[in-house]
Amino acid sequence: MLMYDIISKKRDGYELSAAEIDFWISGYTQGVIPDYQCSALLMAGLLQGFTKQETLAMVESMIASGERIDLSDIEGIKADKHSTGGVGDKTSLVVMPIIAAAGLKVAKMSGRGLGHTGGTLDKLAAIPGCYTELTTAEFKQQVREIGIAIISQTAKLVPADKKLYALRDATATVDSLALIAASIMSKKIATGADILALDVKYGSGAFMQNLADSRALAQLMVELAQASGIKAVAVLSSMEQPLGLAIGNALEVKEAAAVLTNNGPDDLRELSLTLAAELILLAGLAPDRAQAVDLARQQLTSGAALAKFRQMIAAQGGDTDFSHLPVSPLVVEYRARESGYLTAIDARKIGLAALCLGAGRQKKEDVIDPAAGIILRHKLAERVETGEVLAEVHCRTQQQFAAAREILDDAFALAADIPETAPLISDIIS
């Protein structure tokens, strides 16, 4: 088998066999196939498209490149969740304790944030003492004993994806639904869960800008999960404005803790309850969606979800008193320059403004300031008067605020009339 023949076959629009895809992915991961040939195949695939069977073969080969977590020796239904990324998206900190309190076993490996979107691990790292670098044995033991663990992905998990993604990023081949789906699902399937909820974002702050692309990605990922023996559901949610009010790691932990007491912003609570309810439905713990939502909400109102979250944090060495979270030395109010109804709160620009403050990474090696971030004081369609506070900016220096302010000036738009707003959740695909 020759890589030259595989490249030309895909260039001409033919479907690759599972053996050809495995030859490509395993060979590239092992360093046998050079970057230039892999780049050529990635570009051919981007232009010609990959079929569902090709994508499934990619997933299987990528999983085979490293270790696969076996959770079969843990009693109960093991649940996982994944978000395609957004601004202010701290739902994992809410959803996973809810379903653990409801009786499911939560076994979640997460990543760190890069660019304008945040990462679950960075939020957990904002909690003093909390560590996420557990071994596979420690991870399984914690799931077995307390029913929940959220940790960092091990270096041995799907190494093919890490190498392929770096090349895709450098060769403008990231924007392929098949490659995106294979990247996400290879890691999710390799972690060994029985059921999976996917939060697939669309809008200004999401990777997928429009609903149609988001729907296509969601459908493909659900099909890949099912083909691999995992029950999956995808929730299509809007990222036209940040989720909740807090953007920034310690600020988001505090907001998640508020939702776990059945308070906090309405949109964050609604999406978290929806995702939790879908996992409860997949597990067969409720007969229909309405009762699944009720069961999820009971975990909030009873305090069981917050107790489970604190139990996980304590098990991972963290301080469970969230009043001890890091605080920025400077809080500056960003005020409206005119009156009107908010017609836009550009999630991507809000995320970029938070990035200027140190709340995220522009490069993987960047150090995050866990206290930095932004707290919104208004949501879309709300009335704002001139001089009213639109947001609080949490930072260390006036120079940071000045840099963020330039972006914030373009992030908000106001008009005389109340705008129509899209629903938070557009569809559920199962």
20-52 per-position pLDDT tens digit: 999 999 999 999 999 999 999 999 999 999 999
Closest listed residue to residue 87, CA positions, set 342, 384, 308, 345: 345
Catalytic residue among 108, 123, 163, 187: 187
pLDDT, position 114: 60
The pLDDT confidence band at residue 113, using thresholds 50, 70 and 90, is: low
pLDDT at 116 over 70: no
Under 8 Å between Cβ of 123 and 90: yes
Q: What would the pLDDT profile of 172-186 be if each residue is shown by its tens digit?
A: 888 889 999 999 999
Catalytic residue among 10, 78, 82, 310: 82
CA distance 163 to 262: 42
User: Quick one: CA dihedral 393, 396, 398, 401, positive or negative?
Assistant: negative
pLDDT, position 91: 96
Give yes or no: 405 in active site.
no
Segments of 97-250 assigned E as strands: 105-110, 148-152, 195-202, 231-238, 246-247
Give yes or no: 5 in active site.
no
The pLDDT confidence band at residue 360, using thresholds 50, 70 and 90, is: confident
CA 125 vs. chain centroid, Å, equals 16
Q: What share of the chain in percent tops pLDDT 90?
A: 85
CA distance 311 to 83: 23
CA distances from 401 to 372, 390, 404 (A): 11, 14, 5
Give yes or no: 187 in active site.
yes
Give yes or no: 410 in active site.
no
Higher per-residue pLDDT: 203 or 365:
203
pLDDT at 188 over 70: yes
CA distance 334 to 401: 9
Matching CATH topology for 3-49 and 78-322?
no
pLDDT, position 320: 93
Give yes or no: 289 in active site.
no
Catalytic residue among 22, 89, 122, 161: 161
pLDDT at 396 over 80: yes
Higher per-residue pLDDT: 305 or 208:
305
The domain over range 327-415 is classified in CATH as 3.90.1170.30:
yes
pLDDT at 153 over 90: no
CA distance 185 to 162: 13
The pLDDT confidence band at residue 85, using thresholds 50, 70 and 90, is: confident
Q: What would the pLDDT profile of 203-258 be if each residue is shown by its tens digit?
A: 988 888 899 999 999 999 999 999 999 999 999 999 999 999 999 999 999 999 99
Q: What dotted CATH number matches 3-49?
A: 1.20.970.10
pLDDT, position 209: 85
pLDDT at 279 over 70: yes
Per CATH, which fold does 78-322 belong to? Pyrimidine Nucleoside Phosphorylase; Chain A, domain 2 (3.40.1030)
Residue type, 98: I
Residue keyed to tokens 């309850």: 273
Region 364-386 average pLDDT? 92
Tell me what the pLDDT averaged over the chain comes to.
94
Region 2-17 average pLDDT? 96
What are the structural domain ranges in the chain? 3-49, 78-322, 327-415
pLDDT, position 366: 77
Q: What share of the chain in percent tops pLDDT 70?
A: 98
Catalytic residue among 61, 65, 183, 228: 183
pLDDT, position 17: 97
